[in-house]
Amino acid sequence: MLDEKSSIPLYSQLYQKMLENITSGLWQDGFKLPTEAELCQQYGVSRITVRMAMDKLNSQGYLYRKQGRGTFVTRPKIEQKLAYFYSFSDNIDHPDEKRQSTVLGFEAIPCPEKIAQRLKISAGEPVFKMERIRSVGTIPFAYEFSYIPCVLCPQLNGDSIAEIGLYNSLKKYSGLSPNLATEQFNAVLLGKNAAKYLQGKSTQPGLHIDRITYVDEQIVEYCDTIVRGDRITYHVELHQI
């Protein structure tokens, strides 16, 4: 029940409770909300209070209505600005939810030929290979592999990356501060492996991002990422030269 004696309006209290249900994962993507009448009874409020709370959630992209079927939970798209150098963990616009990075694997391997070409090193040179998932709140949106030449940062480790991120770890252990990146984008299907980690279907649209990161002119990372196409929007500012 809500607190009628609180200075916070009832619709705002109800909005916060419903938002918590969504962001905590209690109401997952696709969950059908109780009817307005059921919400009125559950929280002891009027229909107009329920509608005001739902309208606010709808305007923020958390709900959508299907004619004749009811109201369902969805998630606002994550916005990634591309106007300047960015890292996923530091430059994502999304209301109310925490950014997370889960390291699935970290090991040193001989560099495969294809990766060596992207890093501009010799095949067989030792590189760190990292597999991780990027999430906002409880929702994963990117599945990626990163490759970093071991010689650049011999102390690099998965625990540090999980705690403070890759770029902060490079700076901590080797004084390297990435400041430039090039990216190529192309449309793909998620595929079976990425879909498993991104909680999607193998046949649904995704975006492949091929990224090379530099410290000045030195390549420090090659990153191969698959992003859920329905989870993220890329924002680009175009200026007349």
* Every domain of the chain and the residues it spans: 10-73, 78-235
pLDDT tens for 147-164 read 999 999 999 999 999 999
- pLDDT tens digits, one per residue of 66-120: 888 889 988 766 666 665 566 665 555 444 556 788 999 999 999 999 999 999 9
> The domain at 10-73 falls in which architecture?
Orthogonal Bundle (1.10)
CA distances, 101 to each of 14, 87, 131 (Å): 31, 12, 10
Instruction: Give residue 92's pLDDT.
Output: 52
How confident is the model at residue 83, as a pLDDT? 57
DSSP 8-state symbol, 49: H
List CB contacts of 173: < 8 A, sequence separation 6 or more.
153, 154, 155, 156, 160
Stated length of the chain: 241
For 174-230, what is each residue's pLDDT tens digit? 999 999 999 999 999 999 999 999 888 899 889 999 999 999 999 999 999 999 887
At the topology level of CATH, where does 78-235 sit? Chorismate lyase (3.40.1410)
Using an 8 Å Cβ cutoff, are 15 and 53 in contact? Answer: yes
The predicted structure's pLDDT at residue 143:
95
- Is the model more confident about 123 or about 232? 123
Q: What one-character-per-residue DSSP string does 110-177 give?
A: EPPHHHHHHHTS-TT-EEEEEEEEEEETTEEEEEEEEEEEGGG-TT--HHHHHHH-HHHHHHHHH---
pLDDT for 6-33, tens place per residue?
Answer: 888 899 999 999 988 887 778 887 889 9
pLDDT tens per residue across span 33-76? 999 999 999 988 999 999 999 988 887 778 888 888 889 988 76
Q: Phi/psi class of residue 209: alpha, beta or left (left: φ > 0; alpha: ψ in -120 to 50)?
A: beta
Predicted confidence at residue 85, as pLDDT, reads: 61
Task: Look at the pTM and tell me if it is higher than 0.75.
Answer: no
Q: Are 79 and 92 spatial neighbours (Cβ–Cβ below 8 Å)?
A: yes
